[in-house]
Amino acid sequence: MIKYLIVAAVLFVIYIAFFKKTAIKEEKEQKNKDKKNSGDIMIECSECTTFVSESEAIIKDGKFFCSKQCANLR
């Protein structure tokens, strides 16, 4: 009987060590990904007044632009 309890305890520890950490890590990554996508701020282009996300905007001389063409970059 004690042998079965020891084997069950060892298997439980192995399960926790490999599978539980992976599930927790994936859950944290998903939450971080959701935070990044949900908090995206839209900014108006100074040239053409098109709205673009802050992460994709081009900043030149303290102004935001939607593309290199609007920012007069080559």
What is the per-residue pLDDT across 10-64, written as a single tens digit (0 to 9) for each?
998 888 777 766 767 777 777 766 666 556 789 999 999 999 988 889 999 999 9
Residue 4 has pLDDT above 80, yes or no: yes
Joined together, the tokens standing for residue 11 give: 């298997």
Secondary structure string (H, E, C) spanning 42-70: EEECCCCCCEEECCCCEEECCEEECCCCC
Instruction: Give the model's pLDDT for residue 5.
Output: 92
Place of tokens 């802050």: 54
- The C-alpha atoms of residue 60 and residue 70 are separated, in whole angstroms, by 10
Instruction: Give the model's pLDDT for residue 44.
Output: 94
pLDDT class of 8 with cuts at 50, 70, 90? very high
Instruction: Give the model's pLDDT for residue 21.
Output: 66
